[in-house]
Amino acid sequence: MANITNIDYGQAGWDRVANENFKAINADITDTGWIDLTLINGFANQSTIGKTSIRKFGKLVTLRVALTGLSLKSVATRLPSGFSPLQQIPISLRGTEGRTFSLTVTGYGELKFESPADNNFESTDYVGGIVSWMTE
Q: Which residues lie closer than 8 Å to 58 by C-beta, 6 or more apart?
A: 28, 29, 30, 31
pLDDT score, position 87: 93
123, part of any domain: yes
User: Is residue 76 a part of any domain in this protein?
Assistant: yes
The verdict on residue 69 lying in a domain is yes
- What is the pTM assigned to this prediction? 0.78
Look up the domain containing 62 and give its range. Answer: 35-134
Q: 15 lies in a domain?
A: no
Residue 101 in domain? yes
User: What's the number of domains the chain is made of?
Assistant: 1
**pLDDT of 75-118, one tens digit each?**
999 999 999 999 999 999 888 877 888 999 999 999 999 887 67
Domain assignment present for residue 45? The answer is yes
Position with higher pLDDT, 67 vs 116: 67
Residue 22 falls inside a structural domain? no
The CATH number assigned to the domain holding 68 equals: 2.60.40.1830
Question: Measured between alpha carbons, how far is 90 from 105 in angstroms, rounded to an integer?
Answer: 7
Does residue 57 form part of some domain? yes
Q: Which of 88, 103, 83 is nearest to 33 (CA)?
A: 83
